[in-house]
Structure 1
């Protein structure tokens, strides 16, 4: 098998603003693995403020220890290849995810199946929420109106920018602007203190803003703080940055730190680890969601295929590629408002690069 990498930087149609960063491009490493006839694709996004992994590091990891671990292995040895990828290096979850997905994509193509079909599903349309970037109340209210007019009925609002009172006003204005029907979920991206989180969430509850869930209200390592919040509010709490792998999820479960978990391929290392996390969460009564980093149709397509085969309890957070002005690849998933249409062509349906 031949492994190749390509750095891409795809411009967004609108700046993406969170408590952690402002993004104008989706910067990723695309990985391709070829058997001579078929090519599988995967993606490692660069998200400095979340995973801490760089494109240069991911590229070095893929072309170095992971490629060495796969040296001499044939394309039919998927199980052994995936085992070697996970054992090739510590950390580097984005690089592992890119190779894991590319191997799955190649295997599906060799069978003449779509990736979601290879994973055991016939569902070819899934739903996503859409994110509203952090901003002033008026701008957010208008963005919410625009997204609802685009057909989205689950809106994710970025909060946690340092002023819990201002966050409350943003959500109040959005709810007032869109009415009672759309679901609102909040993502603080670790931006609140535990006390600010409880104050803001209780205020929203008292005001009848009907918030579906609050994602990662405090720092990833502060599981005790997240458990403290979960015990004091009625709104469900979703763990995101706190959970990379099984050990993290076990800690969340033991402490009762969250009601749901957000599984992302670039955090956990690929489709195999993601399935393990989803199964573990369900077994212990936690709600589930599959999310994405700021990545393209390759990474989001893999996550969408996962959701097709492993349905989650909450509408998923897979709007990342919707933010791109144009895809860096040809083929793959297609957005129609909140509906993501999975390809009918083999694998991820990706046929090549546009850059």
Structure 2
């Protein structure tokens, strides 16, 4: 059996063409740790550990130290098959889910490359849906960074002109003016464009009910509202869900299976947003989606501010098992260019996965990386 021979890491900083602003942070770059897992035959699998301190608490330094230390120790000499080695990643350390994501995705990418199939087909087989057609063009919404009403309206018009039919508006920075911002966007794009909100924990439960109810009364036709309250306030999340008609989605409140059990127990949301950097990779993400579906919850796969490796993995997950809600996979769209040779690309509102083994990443494009 082929075993893992090397684990290599490198930090990347990828500039964005437009600042990304939410209720939690403002950034002009994608900051991530790239990992390459190499087996004894010289076949590589790629993964990444994005830095989003305000959500996961994971730093570049911490993720790289985790990958270079305990995760490397757990993987070297172990089988290249993720069914055997992915559990070792999850058990090797507490938390450090961005680092676990990087190692787990790299293991699955490696397995798909060895099997000669796209990552989506590999994941479909693991999930027991092998044989079904896997669509390699995965639709996504696009985010409108938090800002003033007039700026948001102009940005919304530009994104619709770019070919996006679903917009995710970042709110939660000021409950007193959030309604006006949302209404400005709706007026700018008309009724034919899907509009969803992400408060990124910016409201308390009572503010959330007031804002969402006001938007319902105004006929803003909001598709869903994501994480309206602080992550720890699952009771507050349940309060909002019970007092508005608009579907409510848990994001930062959901990292682990234990978090999902609490959301299910309290009926705290209508949908859940599964992200690889929050849960620790494709292996736990598959389980979260499965369990959420069994309990009748809507599902979405989203992204942090990741590069094309993380986005390709998330899109492959959607292509393999599907979700009930349009995914949120635009993070790498914000990059000025891909730092990789090969890999996924964007075509209007589609993230296009290459029909080549694994993620289709051929390594770093040294001419495009600082």
TM-score by length of 2: 0.94
Give 1:165 shift.
Answer: 2.4
Give 1:90 shift.
Answer: 0.5
- 1:19 corresponds to 2:19: no
Give 1:122 shift.
Answer: 2.3
Structure 2: distance between partners of 1:343 and 1:248: 34
Instruction: Give the alignment partner of residue 47 of structure 1, picking from 48, 52, 60.
Output: 52
Give 1:337 shift.
Answer: 0.9
Residue 71 of structure 1 is matched in structure 2 by 76
Structure 2: distance between partners of 1:322 and 1:38: 28
Residue 208 of structure 1 is matched in structure 2 by 219
Residue 133 of structure 1 is matched in structure 2 by 145
Structure 2: distance between partners of 1:53 and 1:119: 26
- 1:287 corresponds to 2:298: yes
Q: Superposition RMSD on alpha carbons, in Å? A: 0.8
Residue 336 of structure 2 is matched in structure 1 by 325
Structure 1: distance between partners of 2:217 and 2:246: 11
Secondary structure of the 1:281 match is: helix
Give 1:46 shift.
Answer: 0.1
- 1:188 corresponds to 2:199: yes
Structure 2: runs of 5 or more not aligned: 125-132
Deviation sequence 1:192-229 (CA, Å, 0-9, x none): 01111000000000000000000000000000001011
- 1:97 corresponds to 2:91: no
Residue 189 of structure 2 is matched in structure 1 by 178
- 1:275 corresponds to 2:280: no
Count of residue correspondences: 353
Structure 1: distance between partners of 2:23 and 2:262: 25
**Correspondence 1:331-342 to 2 at 5 A:** 331-342=342-353
Structure 1 runs, 4 residues or longer, greater than 6 Å off: none
TM-score by length of 1: 0.98
Residue 148 of structure 1 is matched in structure 2 by 160
Structure 1: distance between partners of 2:134 and 2:83: 23
Residue 112 of structure 1 is matched in structure 2 by 116
Structure 2: distance between partners of 1:197 and 1:331: 42
Structure 1: distance between partners of 2:281 and 2:184: 38
Structure 1: runs of 5 or more not aligned: none
Structure 2: distance between partners of 1:155 and 1:103: 33
Give 1:175 shift.
Answer: 0.4
Give 1:334 shift.
Answer: 1.1
